[in-house]
């Protein structure tokens, strides 16, 4: 859903997870996605010159999808992790 930019589906998933007290699982999956996507950008030696631009694009894209502080703070944590790799 994330790669396809299916925002309404992600919002629905978040709403359903909140109803059944499963937001921790959604947060964990979200962080795993962010870490994988960010690490893929950082580790791609062929695109070193585009790395900062790509990381900022990922951050902007994700910020456009989420509004909650918990997820944005999760984004900050993940960005720190793969930038410090």
Residue-wise pLDDT tens digits, 1-31: 777 777 788 778 888 888 998 888 888 888 8
Residue, of 11 and 72, whose pLDDT is higher: 11
The percentage of the chain sitting over the pLDDT mark of 70, rounded to a whole number, equals 74
Residue, of 34 and 71, whose pLDDT is higher: 34
Query: Which residues are CB-contacts of 11 (< 8 A; sequence separation ≥ 6)?
Result: none
Distance CA 22, CA 6 (A): 20
Count CA atoms closer than 13 A to 16's CA, side-chain side. 7
DSSP letter, residue 68: -
Q: Is residue 35 scored above 60 in pLDDT?
A: yes
Confidence of residue 83 (pLDDT cuts 50, 70, 90): low
């Amino acid at each position: 859903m994330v790669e396809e930019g299916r925002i309404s589906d992600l919002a629905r998933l978040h709403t359903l997870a909140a109803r059944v007290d499963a937001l921790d699982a959604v947060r964990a999956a979200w962080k795993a996605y962010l870490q994988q996507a960010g690490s893929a950008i950082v580790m791609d030696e062929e695109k070193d010159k585009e790395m900062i631009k790509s990381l900022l694009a990922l951050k902007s894209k994700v910020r456009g999808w989420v509004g909650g502080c918990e997820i944005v703070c999760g984004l900050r944590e993940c960005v720190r992790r793969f930038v410090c790799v």
